[in-house]
Structure 1
Amino acid sequence: MKTFRHWISACTLSALCTVLPAQTKMPAPWQSSLVKISKSGELVYIPDEEGNVIPDFSRVGYHHGNQSIPQHSVTRIISPVEGDNWAHIQQAVDEISQLPADQNGHRGVLLLKRGLYPVSQSVVIKAGGVVLKGEGSNVDETRLIATAKRKYALIKISGAGIREEISGTRVSITDKFVPVGTHSFQVSCGEGFKSGDKIVVYRPGTQKWVHDIKMDQIEERKGTRQWTPQEYNLAFEREVTRVEGNRLFIDNPVVMQMDWKYGGGDVYKYKFDGRINEVGVSDLCLESEFDDYEDTQHGWIGVQIEKAENCWVDNVTARYFGYAAVSCERFAKNVTVRNCRNLEPKAVITGGLRYSFNNIGQQNLFMNCQSTEGRHDYITGSQVCGPNVFYNCTATQTYADIGPHHRWAVGTLYDNIVTDGDINVQDRGKMGSGHGWAGVTQVLWNCHVGRAAVQSPWASGKNYSIGTKGERYPGVFTDRPDGVWEGHNETNVFPRSLYVTQLMARQKADLSLLIK
């Protein structure tokens, strides 16, 4: 059987192992049969009967993980003023937004000195290269408080415009079947493409596909919507890395099968002129005033990101918001959210509320985050185009489940997630307004859960539970196909983290190419 391989150095292997005193006895390392590290240091992917492999999730977050989050010098400093500080902060943000960008797209850093900043409206960053920074994320450091009695984001990062197909560039994918995990495919004509082109890999929704996954047969109840094909025209943003005749090679892998019987796929170039980049928010404590535990008219989101790429949110604590600490919207791409906390949200414990770290964008990374009292703490929404990663995050005092929430998220890794609640990947059927299948190519790796359900859809791929520790249960609807389960309750999963291992292997491979 053909396998896919990446090399990992000896020092990388040692970094992936837990260092223990010599006298400590641990069970032998357990490895998955689907992706493993060989004795010679190769990261090996083993295809299934259709050629699908667990994909490489390492090209997510700020600049695909190829660059560290930058540390720029401060451009301007402000301190709190009496009363509402919205105009005070917004004016400083707007002034920095007018500065010329340097060769890396950076304009300037606004430092908010330690103190209390009541804010009645969204602080909006709508130009690239602006960084908003405080002096720490504790309540006695730089603390912004949402004071208005309505739902709003305290900080909003938002570009403009829409993603547009470049006319005349669309070609068909001619392979009859493109498996999950591949980085290349044949197209009808490769002449118009070159390395560096930004493209969309387009996978159409078809009635046959909707029918085969039984999403036109959802049990009816009040408000149920059967799925329609046009809702599931999925657009995966990629970059061409090289062209060989009519074969295109892409940076991020295919994360959902493309099959001629379901309409195959297309490729086209795109532009997104209004999308901004190089925006950062860090070292802040964000809070919302509230009237009572179930208040739904107050600060709603700590940091909201839309129409932006290669941005970051780092070391931010959000307290008492109704919806989320950080929410990456549909056109948020290559965002890193790290070292952030969502604590003590205030809202009714019901649908559409308390989504602690929310993502419907693509190629985003959430790492080292914490949440308390959320409903869906690390969550994707509908028609989410991956890859996306949640890594090394915790959730306590949970009221619902972590995972893809509804209507088909594609290509998500939940890696080393620890929760006292559920992680579920399942057909949600008639739940909500007919949520149906939550997603495909959803991978749980070395997670600790109260319990987990992992099902695979009737068509178009699989979902995986690798090394999950906790109760295994069949899901809300127990007659659905089971997902792929390996290493349930294994105590010494190796490698510990799939994301970290893939990132190290790729970085070593990239370095080897540079040396050559």
Structure 2
Amino acid sequence: MNRVKKLVGGILAITLCVSVSAQTKLPPGWQSSYVKITPKGELAYYPDKQGNTIPDFSRVGYHHGDKSIPEYPVTKTVYPVEKGDSRQRIQDAIDEVSRMQPDKDGHRGTVLLKRGVYHVHGTIHINASGVILTGEGDNVNETRLLAIGKQRFSLIEVSGNGRMEEVSGTRVKITDAFVPVGTHTFQVSSAANFKVGDRIIVYRPGTENWIHDIKMDQIVERQGTRQWTAREYNLSFEREIVKVEGNRIYIDNPVVMQMEEKYGGGEVFKYTFDGRISEVGVTNMCLESEFEHYEDNEHGWIGVQFDKVENCWARNLTCRYFGYSAVSCERNAKNVTVTDCRCLETKSLITGGLRYSFNNWGQQNLFMNCQSTEGRHDYVTGARVCGPNVFYNCTASQTYADIGPHHRWAVGTLYDNVITDGEINVQDRGKMGSGHGWAGVTQVLWNCRVKRAAVQSPWTSGYNYNFGMKGEKYPGVFIDRPDGVWEGQNEKNVFPRSLYIAQLMARHKNMDLRILTK
């Protein structure tokens, strides 16, 4: 509880400072018709005619935002090799700590890389829970890891093993004819075998009639175009049961995509993921890559890569000259916090598939207080990404493309106070790429600042939203698609300033949200 109070108290202090300084000469605040702070200081949600509400995005990142990232004493200290490759020395220290027994919090040990330059040829692997790799600072004259060699590789890879497994005999049908976005509850055919604390998959099947109704079997053909097929769009949302009442199940994180009987409804089943690791952090370092020229495609590719993990973090990293991204969360990365990280001066071709500065394929991940320069898709999600996920208080400059869901139906992302000198787009990308099609649904932009933005909603199965954006609205690449929900464009005084912060505060007791509107 003390960690929770510390986390929320720190957020509140920051919010108060921003609010007081920013509101001295501003007009009365503007609030959305979908979510607002009431006179009683409560965060209220207002459903549309189908019952959909804006989801609660606050249960993302390390331990769903209910614990602060921990600090532990140093277990093992490493110094750079005077001449040659330091990779094996670092790997040996990590492997030694990985063999230690974890404490009650799951921590095995902390490896400290002392100040200096570490030449690293190949990937440093962290494959055990409870290992922290930290340096003495992220400036070039502090702890600096330099990726060397003429091939693409991740400098640091944090990854467990195995895969998600369905628990046999646990699958049941969701019996509600329609489950709206934003809800935390639904009826199932039988909840007899479920209990509080069970980890479940909320499964939304892909069906041929759904693909047809969103017109993704009708993408205009060009060389390499692939029409969407139903079997590729079975979506698995990881959740935990918080209450069971009869055959009604309550889940920790909200539904972020409509489930409708006419499109196959939904199902629930228990799962295991025994090889997934947790409580791993990478912090306080400068990560760089050698390169030969501005468009060099054969050198260090990713600063830190997470996969098959949960409750992990990357913090206070300066990443320079990589070809693809500073931090990339892959498909099985869950509840990762990436905070106070920078992706600077990317070096690779300026073309498709490259320069994804902060990249997310996982779910319930938080990217916060990050900075990017010279990227293409600076804050981006991939295909069939199952939210919620959040990009909060991030900036991008000298950008070569757009921010947002990139292709093939990402679900449930909040872009909150994202500032760019380029674009944020949520749209049908149609024949672009190899048939990118609808980039996503339940994509929410909140109080962002852009050069321009296109926000469209798909033909069916939900909406995309843009609240309080400062910048130009444009219709998108294909102008005959349905418009998204737009409110408060170019309003000067959007309340709450941050939807994510307001939602996080609302989950904790004795937090009067009226403080955000004063």
Aligned position for 1:390: 391
1:403 aligns to 2:398 (yes or no): no
1:71-470 aligned within 5 A = 71-81=71-81, 82-470=83-471
| 1:455-485 deviation per Cα after TM superposition (whole angstroms, max 9, x unaligned) | 0000000000000000100000000000000
1:510 is displaced (CA, Å) by: 10
Aligned 8 A contact 1:16 1:496 in 2: no
1:294 partner amino acid: E
1:34 partner amino acid: Y
Aligned 8 A contact 1:62 1:336 in 2: yes
Q: Within 2, Cα distance between the matches of 1:168 and 1:372?
A: 49
1:338 partner amino acid: T
Aligned position for 1:34: 34
Q: Which runs of 5+ in 1 are unaligned?
A: 1-7, 512-516
Q: Within 2, Cα distance between the matches of 1:458 and 1:510?
A: 39
Aligned 8 A contact 1:114 1:143 in 2: yes
Query: Helix, strand or coil for the counterpart of 2:509?
Result: helix
1:20 is displaced (CA, Å) by: 3.9
Aligned position for 1:61: 61
1:103 is displaced (CA, Å) by: 1.5
TM-score by length of 1: 0.96
Aligned length: 502
Query: Helix, strand or coil for the counterpart of 1:326?
Result: strand
Q: Within 2, Cα distance between the matches of 1:170 and 1:194?
A: 14
Aligned 8 A contact 1:256 1:410 in 2: yes
1:509 is displaced (CA, Å) by: 7.3
Aligned 8 A contact 2:323 2:355 in 1: yes
Q: Which runs of 5+ in 2 are unaligned?
A: 1-7, 513-518
Q: Within 1, Cα distance between the matches of 2:508 and 2:236?
A: 27
1:27 partner amino acid: P
| 1:130-154 deviation per Cα after TM superposition (whole angstroms, max 9, x unaligned) | 0000000000000000001100000
Query: Helix, strand or coil for the counterpart of 2:93?
Result: helix
1:28 is displaced (CA, Å) by: 1.1
Q: Within 1, Cα distance between the matches of 2:199 and 2:358?
A: 28
| 1:216-257 deviation per Cα after TM superposition (whole angstroms, max 9, x unaligned) | 000000000000001100000000001000000000000000
Q: Within 2, Cα distance between the matches of 1:256 and 1:344?
A: 36
| 1:161-214 deviation per Cα after TM superposition (whole angstroms, max 9, x unaligned) | 000000000000000000000000000000101110000000000000000000
Aligned position for 2:44: 44
1:102 is displaced (CA, Å) by: 1.1
2:212 partner amino acid: H
Aligned position for 1:479: 480
Q: Within 2, Cα distance between the matches of 1:12 and 1:94?
A: 39
Q: Within 1, Cα distance between the matches of 2:258 and 2:511?
A: 26
Query: Helix, strand or coil for the counterpart of 2:97?
Result: helix
Q: Within 2, Cα distance between the matches of 1:102 and 1:250?
A: 29
Query: Helix, strand or coil for the counterpart of 1:503?
Result: helix
Q: Within 1, Cα distance between the matches of 2:122 and 2:96?
A: 18
Q: Within 2, Cα distance between the matches of 1:468 and 1:475?
A: 16
Aligned position for 1:495: 496
Aligned position for 1:4: none
1:90 partner amino acid: Q
2:269 partner amino acid: Y
Query: Helix, strand or coil for the counterpart of 2:240?
Result: strand
Q: Within 1, Cα distance between the matches of 2:189 and 2:486?
A: 38
Q: Within 2, Cα distance between the matches of 1:179 and 1:21?
A: 36
User: Cα–Cα, structure 1 residues 43 and 17, in superposed 2: closer, same or farther, change >3 Å?
Assistant: farther
Query: Helix, strand or coil for the counterpart of 1:507?
Result: coil
2:432 partner amino acid: M
2:425 partner amino acid: N
Identity, in percent, stands at: 70
1:114 is displaced (CA, Å) by: 0.2
1:17 is displaced (CA, Å) by: 6.9
Q: Within 1, Cα distance between the matches of 2:72 and 2:17?
A: 31
Q: Within 2, Cα distance between the matches of 1:111 and 1:26?
A: 47
Q: Within 2, Cα distance between the matches of 1:344 and 1:370?
A: 11
1:12 is displaced (CA, Å) by: 6.2
Aligned 8 A contact 2:457 2:482 in 1: yes
2:100 partner amino acid: L
1:104 is displaced (CA, Å) by: 1.4
1:15 is displaced (CA, Å) by: 3.3
Query: Helix, strand or coil for the counterpart of 2:157?
Result: strand
Q: Within 2, Cα distance between the matches of 1:25 and 1:42?
A: 25
1:508 is displaced (CA, Å) by: 2.1
Aligned 8 A contact 1:17 1:496 in 2: no
